[in-house]
Amino acid sequence: MNTRRVVITGLGAVTPLGNSAPEFWRRLVAGESGVGPITVFDASIFTTRIAAEVKDFNPDELIGKKEARRMDRFSQFAFVAAREAIADAQLPEDREFKDRVGAVIGTGIGGIQTFWYESLKATQNGNWAKTSPFFIPMLMANAATAHISMAYGFRGPIHSVASACASANDAIVTAYNFVANGDAVAMLTGGSEACISPLAVGGFCTMKAMSTRNDDPTKASRPFDKERDGFVVGEGAGVFVFEEYEHAKARGAKIYAEVLGYGQSADAYNIVAPDPDGNGVSLALSRALASANVKPDDVQYINAHGTSTPLGDTAESQAIQKLFGADTKVAVSSTKSMHGHALGAAGGLEGIATIMAVYDDTMPPTINYEFPDPDCTLDYVPNVARKATVNVALSNSFGFGGHNSVIVFGKVR
């Protein structure tokens, strides 16, 4: 039985729309797109040649050359975002406190950049015996949390979660329970991903899952729009500090929002396709509301999974409508229209967007919404951010394998 309230006291972000949480939020509200041509490798042979890349990120300067070169790019993102969140929260420095702080960071794929580079190097030189001694420590999915723990001396629960595109939200749920159950006084949590590489892009291209709107990249990610043709892959990290409410209050911490509850479910349907009837999503949504002890009418805003895929957007819209009612007034937007689909980091980036919607009473828009889809009939906050009171908000994340994870955030009362 959870007895402790959990609040958010720090935010950190590395994204296609800026490498800090304030910059990310400012550009989301402005409706800017972070999508452009792929620059990190030659994508000319692929059907999709666009992505939402993190820009102006120099790990040698941000982390230090020696340490940065022992981290995969996804760990670098997580480390820098965590550092910002820790500074924002102004966490105590004493040993007793740090013994009760942990980290759970989600990632869908982990060190795929390292996997690609080391495999290519060994294939080219024909000598697999010269694989880097840092290959495994850089590749492993738990590397991000390990680096955060070692750098800051956090000795609480430390691990990683991998459940495809629901990874960050599932990590958030895990971290929430550690604090709510008294196993930690604070947790670093969120998600990180860095998979814009030939291997990952090639795999998604052959699945025909991504948009091929290469000549108009900023318009390519268009969730819930009738002309959508697939997702745009993104990258980055979103990390926040969860803290026990009474502890945060006692030290006078700034509090952005409270974690009210969560819901998780499985589609039990298909390894990559969503249940077209949205049964699993409906279960996760209903469990989230029950966990938070709120009714559909209490919710003002939903940050949708909204990937811009023909099947996924329809299933999510209909699942929301099934639970909230055909005439629901709840506002729903997908910030993936701006920062792309960051896979295992999606819930981290979108968690920040949802938390800030509650804190700032502003609903970020779904940009590129031009042609209504008769199968998607909700209020998608089209193209322009909206000022409105947001007391309760949901953040949806769904992943390959049928993973569904919904987090409920609300104002502190």
Predicted local confidence at residue 5, as pLDDT? 98
User: In this predicted structure, what is the pLDDT of residue 127?
Assistant: 81
Write the CB contacts of 311 (distance below 8 Å, at least 6 apart in sequence). 273, 274, 276
Q: Which is catalytic among the residues 165, 195, 205, 376?
A: 165
Beta-sheet pairing, 403-410 with 392-399: antiparallel
Residue 300 and residue 187 in contact, taking contact as beta carbons nearer than 8 Å: no
pLDDT category at 126 given cuts 50, 70, 90 is: confident
Report the alpha-carbon distance of residue 354 to residue 410 in Å, rounded. Answer: 9
Structure confidence by residue, pLDDT tens digits, 223-234:
999 999 999 999
> Whole-number mean pLDDT of the chain?
97
Torsion of CA 224, 226, 228, 229, to 10 degrees: 130
Whole-number Å distance between alpha carbons of 242 and 313? 30
Per-residue burial over 213-240, b if 16 or more Cβ lie within 10 Å, else e, is: beeebbbbbbbbbeebebbbbbbbbbbb
Closest CA relative to residue 154, chosen from 95, 105, 107, 106: 95
User: Are 31 and 20 contacting, i.e. CB atoms less than 8 angstroms apart?
Assistant: no
Q: Which of 147, 247, 339, 341 is catalytic?
A: 341
Amino acid symbol at 342: A
12-43 pLDDT per residue, tens: 999 999 999 999 999 999 999 999 999 999 99
CB atoms within 10 A of CB 200: 22
Structural contact between residues 344 and 19, judged by C-beta atoms closer than 8 angstroms: no
Confidence band of 2 (pLDDT split at 50, 70, 90):
low
* Residue 307 pLDDT exceeds 90: yes
φ and ψ at 269, to 5 degrees?
-130, -60
Question: Is the confidence at residue 108, as pLDDT, over 90?
Answer: yes
Question: Per-residue pLDDT for 1 more than 70?
Answer: no
**For residues 359 and 362, what is the distance between their CA atoms, to the nearest angstrom?**
8
C-alpha angle 238/347/192, rounded to 5°? Answer: 45
Rounded CA separation 57/55 (Å): 5
* Cβ 35 vs Cβ 217: under 8 Å: yes
Give the Cα separation of 128 and 298 in Å (integer).
Answer: 58
Domains and CATH numbers, the chain: 7-250 (3.40.47.10), 263-410 (3.40.47.10)
pLDDT reported for residue 319: 96
Strands 392-399 and 301-303: parallel
The arithmetic mean of pLDDT across residues 231-254, rounded, is 98
Asked if residue 199 has pLDDT above 80, the reply is: yes
- From the candidates 305, 339, 376, 403, which is the catalytic residue? 305
The residue type found at 138 is M
- pLDDT, residue 125, reads 82
φ, ψ for residue 77, nearest 5 deg: -60, -50
In the numeric block, the tokens 């999508």 are attached to 35
Is 195 among the residues known to form the active site? no
Q: What was the pLDDT predicted at 135? A: 92
- Between the alpha carbon of residue 57 and those of residues 62, 97, 164, 292, the distances in Å are 8, 31, 25, 38
